[in-house]
Amino acid sequence: MPTRITMIAALFAALTMLAASATQAAGADEAQKLYTRSVAATCANCHGTDGRAQDDATVPGLVGLSADHIVTQMDAFRKGERSATIMHQIAKGFSEEQTRQLADYFASQQP
């Protein structure tokens, strides 16, 4: 029969493990967000910081577009179904998963 102390110790150990795995999950989530942001920063030269184009910009911003629209356009650029001056080359540099993450990122930005 376990003593009260042993049971408290076991409970404490279980709680510590739970807390550790929660912290790890949050860490991975944060790392993923940071990664997506840094990839999104490569779009900023032309589409503006966080996809917000300047008023006089010739390249359209990405903020305000739906994630599905961005994914569809990137696919069309990649496959050559939409003619482009530059995006057909850029789109080829990203996997479908990265494209989806980028699209979700820009779609989550407030205009």
CB contact at 8 A, 73 and 27: no
The distance in angstroms from the start CA to the end CA of the chain is 63
CB contact at 8 A, 106 and 62: yes
- The residue from 86, 92, 96, 104 that contacts ligand HEC (CB under 6 A) is 86
Of the pair 16, 42, the CB lying nearest ligand HEC is at: 42
Q: Could you say whether residue 42 binds ligand HEC (CB under 6 A)?
A: yes
Q: Could you say whether residue 70 binds ligand HEC (CB under 6 A)?
A: yes
Token pair 């110790």: residue:
9
Q: Could you list the residues that contact ligand HEC (CB under 6 A)? A: 42-43, 45-47, 59-60, 62, 65, 70, 73-74, 84-87, 90, 102
